[in-house]
Chain A
Amino acid sequence: MSAPVNRRLALRRLGGAGLVLGGSGALAWLGRTGRGRFQPARSAQPVRDHRAAEEPSRPPLVVARGSDPAAMVTAALAELGGMARFVKRGETVLVKPNMAWDRTPEQGANTHPEVVAEVVRQCRTAGAARVIVADNPVHDASRVAARSGIAAAASAAGAELLSAAAASFVPAAIGGVVLASWDVLAVLLLTDRLINVPVVKHHSLSRLTCGLKNHMGLLGGSRGRLHQEIHACVVDLAAAFRPTLTVVDATRVMVRNGPTGGRLDDLKMVNAVAVGTDAVACEAWAARQLGLDPYDVPSVVQAEGRGLGRVAAGAGPVPEVGAGA
């Protein structure tokens, strides 16, 4: 005959069975209520307005002329009230140079490293807690940072270099005419101030590439798509990002074969730096350095139409200062 039921064994078996069934049920319940590993894309976050308070007594744009890039930045900034007007103690500043190409400073495809370094130094002097220099380049990020000279100069001046290759991107609400949202460098949503430090160059599609188009370097994703509506796109970005300052490097401008250039023949020496709070005025002034009528550049006209600044402030006579030798 088979053995009688052993009570201890029965309890142990029931316990084991209950554990397996209960454990499976608990896992199923967790799986039913869990959010899962593959999250839907995060909702787009708004980008703050980075502008400082307006001072009507100050000009919207000042041009410094000279041969020392750092001295020109300092002189122009002084006319606007100095960096202390724009950057407060303890703030985080994102400095966005054009640092997109595997080119040396002489070739003029990227912002001059001394211009970037001086902007960083001024921010640090004004008490900025962190100054971050970042661009999402077209060429390989590490080569660009080194060959542009910007990594070394900006680090020496006290900036943190953010390599786009390792940086994270998050969706930002652009709310523009063309762009509803786009992925941006995450640091753009953290920073208190944004200083746009473009270089003036020719561009086959947008005619001029300077501050407005420089914003594209803060974007991730498939940026090539933006060229389908380039003027409207760069205006959408300018309207969303609203930089604190625009520092235009016109020490040398690329007049042909932009935005990459490569030959020194492609450059014209202008020996000027413009600093302004009016991004449209800066863009208009930059257009003139290429011999363009600002009113012929669609993005400049559209930006004024969207209320982002005044073309006239950069198209006519502009306050100028000398900067040493």
Chain B
Amino acid sequence: MPELLRGLRRVYQGYFLLLFLAALLLMSDEGLRRLPVRRLLQLDPLSAASVLASSWLLPAGLAAALIVVAVTVLFGRAFCGWICPLGTLHQIASWLTRGLRHGPYQKANRWRAHFRLKYLLLLALGIAALAGTGVVGLLDPLSLAMRSFASGLLPAVDAALGKGGTRPRTFGGAWLTAAVFLGLLAANRWVVRWWCRALCPLGALLGLGARTALFRIEVDEERCNACNRCARDCQGGDEPFAKHRVSECHVCLNCLATCPEEAIRFRLFAPTSAPAGGVDLPRRQLIGAALAGAAVVPLLRATTAEASPEAIRPPGSLAEDAFLARCVRCGACVNACPTGALQPSLTTAGLEGLYTPVLVPRRGWCEPSCTRCGQVCPTAAIAPLTPETKGWTRTASTGAGRPVKIGTAFFDWGRCLPWAMATPCVVCEEVCPTSPKAITLEPAEVARADGRVVRLGRPRIDPDLCVGCGLCEAKCPVAAPAAVRVTRAGESRDARGGFTLGGRLP
């Protein structure tokens, strides 16, 4: 029976890990329809709690997190041991490095006082969320795993494979993203599942829930001969050989299988008492964490009054304050963007905007009919648009209202070929996807230095027609930087941010 349970757990872990990787890799319109990555991320109670605390509402799909809450009150942190793909990767990493850890089981795999850090992090991040920021997503395990693969590890794999890679593209800060992730995996060499035990705020949240778990580990003291072998493969460092820490237990059930005396069971209403240690934090530390959390938002918001002009948000994004509250920095949108235009922000969107998505037209453009970023967003920080509501590819017969505008293109006449160099060029006008075109060519005759008169068209922009897609900047033949560049000016999510009167006059 214990072996069967362990086998079942491994099947679950493998299934969810493969599901997670498949959702990352099968990022196409068809793939998204069959395997919506959003649904996986919406199982996360930490994301749900963060969105609820920061924006005082819960987008529909996030109610799915109640499934994990139900699993937790039944079985404890079974999510950590059976479902979490990041946990599974850490388990694999600790298994691969098992030969490097020495000493008696109960010493090598003991509970350490610093494992309480995750509860302090949870408290600080929870208070920051109440103040209106979604920075908890930086440490949420599903968000961390999603963005580390999407904009760190997979691009590195692509780079290693060269053109044979799945979806070759580059991401700003990919090295940092990957390095943090690999560093956390490497920590398993010293402490098994160190991330899950010491840092993971979702683990902390579920650990609090696990205090009411109906099923728990129970040790039959008459059978136990204190061999401590139960600590050998323990994933949570919850010390089944001593006073078992329910909040730390990942429900891996390895202890059941390794106990030679069959003294350990996992059963309903086991009389194991509420865990000692783990959650009982010194008051000073709690107060310190709470104060730190309360300081996060004022400090972040005192830095800048508004996001940088380059912080172009995906189409359908909420207004900036609501966006920063709602976005869990999972990078699903970055992974979903077909042109590679969406990039994780390192500095563009400010410190609070770390790993939020920004559109970088030199790396790609916003495809006129594409609404994938909003389809994958688990928290609706990017509204799920349709091509009609996005409004960039409307024919006269479809759609009403104004198109979603994410920015405005501006010409740099000093760099533009027809304006500055008497050289004909029409690329920006040619690729401009709006109808009528936001970029038009003004006919001109220009004398070159050799006296030859050149007839050419000088591009001009109509800011009320421009939607900020970035095609002109992406395709501009002038490099580093382009002669036409998009900023977030005039974005429609900022009701008061326009700079034209909108052409209401006849």
Contact = CB atoms under 8 A, between A and B. Distances in A.
- A and B co-occur in one complex: yes
A244 B267 CA distance: 81
B319 A28 contact: no
A204 interface: no
Contact of B501 (A3, A13, A225): A225
A13 B269 contact: yes
Contact of B319 (A14, A18, A35, A38): A38
A4 B213 CA distance: 18
A24 B73 CA distance: 11
A313 interface: no
Interface string B310-334: 0000000011011001000000000
Interface residues of B, number: 48
B209 interface: yes
A324 interface: no
Interface in B256-288: 265, 267-271
Contact of B58 (A21, A32, A233): A32
Contact of B499 (A19, A24, A178, A225): A225
A41 interface: yes
Interface string A3-15: 1011001100110
Given A221-B496, A229-B505, A34 B270 contact: no
Most buried by B among A10, A27, A28, A34: A28
A31 B212 contact: no
A280 B436 CA distance: 40
A3 B52 CA distance: 41
A269 interface: no
Top-4 shortest CB links A-B: A31-B58, A16-B212, A38-B322, A36-B57
Contacts of A183: 496
Given A1-B222, A13-B212, A225 B267 contact: no
Contacts of A14: 214
A13 B505 CA distance: 69
B220 A1 contact: yes
Contacts, number: 111
Interface in A206-240: 221-222, 225-226, 228-229, 232-233
Nearest to B130: A37
Contacts of B420: none
A125 B197 CA distance: 75
B303 interface: no
Given A6-B271, A32-B58, A37-B325, A17 B214 contact: yes
A6 B269 contact: yes
A25 interface: yes
Contacts of B132: 37
B75 to A, nearest CB: 11
A177 B504 contact: yes
A2 interface: yes
Given A21-B70, A225-B500, A225-B501, A36 B56 contact: yes
Contacts of B56: 31, 34-37
Interface string A54-89: 000000000000000000000000000000000000
Given A13-B269, A222-B499, A2 B505 contact: no
Contacts of A19: 212
A292 interface: no
A157 B496 CA distance: 37
A236 to B, nearest CB: 10
Interface in B435-470: none
B66 A25 contact: yes
Interface in B471-497: 495-497
B499 A41 contact: no
Contacts of B497: 222
A129 interface: no
A313 to B, nearest CB: 28
B56 to A, nearest CB: 4
B226 interface: no
Nearest to B74: A17
A190 interface: no
A31 B499 contact: no
Interface in B227-282: 265, 267-271
Most buried by B among A13, A19, A24, A34: A24
Contacts of B293: none
A20 interface: yes
B473 to A, nearest CB: 24
Contacts of A167: none
Nearest to B504: A178
A180 interface: yes
Contact of A225 (B62, B222, B498): B498
Contacts of A24: 45, 66, 69
Interface in B123-152: 132
B504 A20 contact: no
A37 B265 CA distance: 47
Contact of A35 (B45, B57, B322, B496): B57
Contacts of A177: 504-505
B282 to A, nearest CB: 24
B267 A2 contact: yes
Contacts of B500: 225, 228
Interface in A154-203: 177-180, 183
B60 interface: yes
Interface string A107-127: 000000000000000000000
B48 A28 contact: yes
Most buried by B among A2, A6, A225: A2
Given A34-B56, A226-B501, 15 more contacts: A2-B265, A5-B268, A6-B269, A6-B271, A10-B269, A13-B212, A16-B211, A17-B214, A21-B73, A28-B63, A31-B52, A37-B57, A37-B322, A38-B55, A38-B318
Given A24-B45, A24-B69, A2 B74 contact: no
Given A1-B220, A222-B496, A225-B498, A27 B268 contact: no
B218 interface: yes
Contact of A20 (B52, B209, B495, B498): B209
B69 A229 contact: no
26 contacts: A1-B220, A2-B218, A6-B271, A9-B271, A16-B212, A17-B74, A20-B212, A21-B69, A24-B66, A27-B58, A28-B52, A28-B65, A31-B52, A31-B57, A31-B58, A35-B56, A36-B57, A37-B54, A37-B56, A38-B318, A38-B321, A178-B501, A179-B501, A222-B496, A226-B501, A229-B501
Contacts of A1: 220, 222
A180 B402 CA distance: 15
